Structures are given as structure tokens and as C-alpha cells.
Amino acid sequence: MTGVRWLVSLIGNLLALTAAFGLLARYVPPQVFWPPAIVALLLPGLLVLTALYALLALFWRRWLSALLPLAVILFAVPVLDQLFAWPGEEEAAPGGPTVTLVTGNQRLFRSYDAHDVDPDRVSRVFQDYGADVVLLQEVRPPKNRLSFIPSIQTAEQLRERHQKEGTLIATYGADLEPVTASFSEPNEYNGYIVTDVQTEIGTLRVINAHLESNQISGMADNMQEDGSYRNRLETFGRMLTGYGRTSRLRAQQAEQIRTAVETSPHPVVLGGDFNDVPSSYTYNQILSPRLRDAWVSRGRGLGATFTGPLPGLRIDYFMVDTSLRVEHIERLSPNWSDHRPLRMVIGKRAETTGE
């Protein structure tokens, strides 16, 4: 029995150390040191296991063995509500007008069998959203043979579109004014667009972001298809180095977005596919004092939005100006994509309505 307890203690403390290493990701820029960003992907599970081991050590009265895991859990307190959302008692709703927004990565409107989605199905989905503003990532450019733009705009309130020529990010609404756009060169696949949107609660500055893609989903699929040990090891190595490179690029994009948020003359709503988790440096750079995470405010649980080869990750977000109130947020069916869209309803906070 003593040997078993020693082994459990060893494993428990190794898990605690690994969790502590992952917690560094939110503080250490990936340009300086990127490996914690990889471990941060597994942080929710690591923290749960660390907490279970701490309880077991206390039950065994192994006080010294419990010190490290308890210290790690204490160190993790600032990030716990971001990883495991559990809102407190809601404020009384102030009433008045609201705005409904949806964000979602569309995966080029390709179904899982690699065929184009039926345009009529796309029309029905966007009409059912009932959204006033829609933020889309990985859509097709207008010159594409099948862009799906008419299908989206069958929803009357989405009759206007902001999409830079040749890029794959688009914002839809009824009254839009493009402000700026910034994309990664040379492919202009990842980046963000800024749009002023006239709504019933006033002008909103909407930032639609698709930050640098990790490009590891395809490699993960290849690892599953190719059974050779050598190929899997080489692919895993490419995944690690690729994640380090893209995490550095996302950190740079996060700094640009933070500047756009802090200089906005209007209340800001930021949404999109960040390709990073809440314990990442990217997330914490974007989450300026002016913004709050809508899922943390009104969601419950992990809020995982990615359903692909590495499921269980929350990488799609709505972040909302502190002058606005989050009435509701929910995850929707993924439909044809490997991302679950988010639907959010916002209004003005009571103190800004004069009530």
C-alpha cells in the first residue's frame, strides 16, 4: 500500500507541475517562450486532476504532498472562471431594446463529406438565427462560383455585408459602415475587420476576428490515418513547432486588436475564432479592462466550441464592452462546420440608460 501511495503521489505532483507550467501561458509572451501555450490546451483537465489529487493527499493526511497541488490550485484561481464559467446571480434586466449577434467559423460551407452545403439549407439556418448582426469566418469570397452570400442575405436584416476583397471574413447586418481591415500576408486568410453597425441600442463598433490558424487539425487527421510510429512522431513534432509559430503571430494580432478596442469611440463587440484557449496569452491580451468575456458573464461550464480532431476547446468568443449588458449567450448546432456558433443578446447597462 505504501508503494501505491508513493506512485500516486509522484504522478499527482507531476500533474500539478505540468498544470503550473500551463498556467504560465497567460503571463509569458510566446515570442519569449512558447511551450506553455501547448500545455494550456490541456489545462482544464490538468487542474481537475490536480484538485482530485490534493483532496486524496489530504484524506491520506499526507500534508507535505498536498502542498504543491494546493499551491497550483491557488495560483489558478484568477483563470478558473474563464475555464469553468458559472455566473452568479443575474442583475435585474433593465428592459429596453436589445441586439442579437451570432459568430461562427463556417469552414467554407463544406460538409463533413467535403461537398458544398445546400444553399437552401444555409438560408434556413441564417433565418433561424434571428440575428441582427452576424460575424462569419472562413467564408468564400464574392467571386467564388458559390459564395453563399445570397443565401445568407435571404434574412432581410443581413442585407448589407462588410468583406474585404479576396478575404474570408465577413460581417452582415442592416446598416454597416466599414472602418478598417487587417490581414496576415500573403494569403489574407487570417486577420480581423472593424465595422460600425447602427443598432437599436446605438452605434456599435464590431470587430470580427479570425486569428492565425494552428493548422494542426489536418495533421491530427493524418496521424490517425497513417499508423506508422515514425510518421506520427514526425507529424507530432511539426504540430508542436507550428503551434509555437502561430501562437507568436496570434499574440501580435491580439496587441493590434487591443489597440483598436481601446481607441474606439463607440461601445465594442469583439467576436470570432481566436484559435486559442482562455488560458492563453492571446486571450488575456485581448481581454482589456474595457471588455468582458460574454461566456464568463452568462455561460455555464467549459463552453467548448471546437468539435474537430482536438475537441473540447473553447476557441470561439464574444467579448463585450463593459458599457453593455449580456442578456443571454448560447452555443448553437455546428451544422456543417467543426465549430459551434455562438448566439448572444446584448442591451445597454442600466447605468447607461438613465434608469
Task: Provide the CATH number for the domain around residue 239.
Answer: 3.60.10.10
Judged against a pLDDT cut of 50, whether residue 252 lies above it is answered with: yes
With respect to residue 92, please indicate whether it lies within any of the assigned structural domains.
no
Tell whether 184 and 323 lie within a shared domain. Answer: yes
Taking the C-alpha atoms of residue 349 and residue 355, their distance in angstroms, rounded to an integer, is 9
With respect to residue 32, please indicate whether it lies within any of the assigned structural domains.
yes
Q: What is the mean pLDDT of residues 191-196?
A: 98
- With a pLDDT cut of 90, the percent of the chain lying above it is 80
With respect to residue 71, please indicate whether it lies within any of the assigned structural domains.
yes
Tell whether 161 and 208 lie within a shared domain. Answer: yes
Tell whether 209 and 306 lie within a shared domain. Answer: yes
Taking the C-alpha atoms of residue 339 and residue 248, their distance in angstroms, rounded to an integer, is 23
Q: What is the mean pLDDT of residues 114-122?
A: 95
Tell whether 164 and 312 lie within a shared domain. Answer: yes
With respect to residue 90, please indicate whether it lies within any of the assigned structural domains.
no
Number of residues written out for the chain: 355
How many angstroms separate the Cα of 70 from the Cα of each of 8, 13, 40, 190, 325? 16, 10, 19, 40, 35
Taking the C-alpha atoms of residue 172 and residue 195, their distance in angstroms, rounded to an integer, is 10
Tell whether 48 and 107 lie within a shared domain. Answer: no
Q: How many domains does the chain have?
A: 2
With respect to residue 137, please indicate whether it lies within any of the assigned structural domains.
yes
pLDDT of residue 355: 40
Tell whether 70 and 169 lie within a shared domain. Answer: no
The strand order across the sheet containing 342-348 reads 160-162, 169-173, 133-137, 98-105, 342-348, 324-331
- Please name the residue that has the C-alpha cell 472593424: 194
Give the tens place of pLDDT for each residue, 125-156: 999 999 999 999 999 999 999 999 999 999 99
DSSP 347: E
The answer to whether 148 and 140 have CB atoms below 8 angstroms apart is yes
Phi–psi pair at 89, nearest 5 degrees:
-65, 130
Taking the C-alpha atoms of residue 188 and residue 11, their distance in angstroms, rounded to an integer, is 45
Taking the C-alpha atoms of residue 308 and residue 318, their distance in angstroms, rounded to an integer, is 20
- Please name the residue that has the C-alpha cell 465595422: 195
Q: What is the mean pLDDT of residues 2-16?
A: 92
The answer to whether 292 and 260 have CB atoms below 8 angstroms apart is no
Choose one of 82, 114, 145: the last residue of a domain: 82
With respect to residue 9, please indicate whether it lies within any of the assigned structural domains.
yes
pLDDT of residue 184: 84
Q: Closest Cα to residue 303, out of 327, 277, 322?
A: 277
Phi–psi pair at 245, nearest 5 degrees:
-65, -45
Q: Which of 11-25, 134-148, 157-171, 184-198 has the lowest mean pLDDT?
A: 184-198
Phi–psi pair at 254, nearest 5 degrees:
-60, -40
Q: Is residue 330 classed as helix, strand or coil in its secondary structure?
A: strand
Taking the C-alpha atoms of residue 326 and residue 320, their distance in angstroms, rounded to an integer, is 8
Tell whether 64 and 157 lie within a shared domain. Answer: no
Q: Return the amino acid letter for 299.
A: G
Tell whether 61 and 179 lie within a shared domain. Answer: no
Choose one of 82, 115, 143: the last residue of a domain: 82
With respect to residue 91, please indicate whether it lies within any of the assigned structural domains.
no
Tell whether 142 and 254 lie within a shared domain. Answer: yes
With respect to residue 88, please indicate whether it lies within any of the assigned structural domains.
no
Largest CA distance in the chain: 70
The four Cα atoms 61, 62, 68, 70 give a dihedral, to 10 degrees, of: -10
Taking the CA atoms of 191, 335, 292 and 322 in sequence, report the sign of the dihedral they define.
positive
Tell whether 131 and 272 lie within a shared domain. Answer: yes
Q: Which of 91-95, 99-103, 329-333 has the lowest mean pLDDT?
A: 91-95
Choose one of 48, 82, 116: the last residue of a domain: 82
pTM: 0.92
* Domain span at 18: 2-82
Tell whether 163 and 293 lie within a shared domain. Answer: yes
Mean predicted lDDT score pLDDT of the chain: 90
Q: Closest Cα to residue 27, out of 279, 293, 214?
A: 279
Tell whether 37 and 112 lie within a shared domain. Answer: no
- The three cell numbers of residue 87 are 455566473
